[in-house]
Structures are given as C-alpha cells and as structure tokens.
C-alpha cells in the first residue's frame, strides 16, 4: 500500500466516523448541547468519572461483538 492509498483509506474512515456521529447525535445527546453528556450522566448515576463510565459503555459493545 502506498502512502497515497493509505491516505485515501484513512480519509474514508474519518468520513464514516463523522457521518455516524452526525447521524447518531440526537440518539446520543437528546437535545443537550454537551456531546459528552451521556458519559457525564452515566458517571453521576454510577458514582464514577465520565472516563470510567465510557469504559463501561465501551465494554458492553466489545462483549456484544
């Protein structure tokens, strides 16, 4: 794979990620402005940090794969 081919693949991946984040915004944040609000709310419910809440949420997705 050449550097140019790699750059094309990388750009395609960035676009896919951006498209998903734009498409899922309402589902993830409701009407809240803070894009990280779900992690902050989960952290509050669990008495942990948003970073720890994120790790827990990610684990759920990894296990399901």
Give per-residue pLDDT as tens, 34-63. Answer: 999 999 999 999 999 999 999 999 999 999
Output the pLDDT for position 30.
87
Output the pLDDT for position 12.
98
DSSP output for 13-57: HHHHHHHHHHHHHHHHHTT-S-TTHHHHHHHHHHTS-HHHHHHHH
- Using CA atoms, how far apart are residues 39 and 57, in angstroms rounded to an integer? 9
Give per-residue pLDDT as tens, 1-39. Answer: 999 999 999 999 999 999 999 999 988 888 899 999 999
- Using CA atoms, how far apart are residues 21 and 35, in angstroms rounded to an integer? 10
């Amino acid at each position: 794979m050449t550097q140019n081919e790699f750059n094309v693949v990388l750009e395609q991946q960035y676009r896919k990620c951006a498209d998903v984040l734009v498409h899922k915004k309402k589902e993830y944040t409701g009407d809240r402005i803070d894009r990280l609000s779900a992690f902050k709310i989960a952290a509050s419910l669990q008495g942990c940090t948003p970073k720890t809440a994120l790790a827990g949420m990610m684990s759920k997705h990894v296990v399901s794969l």
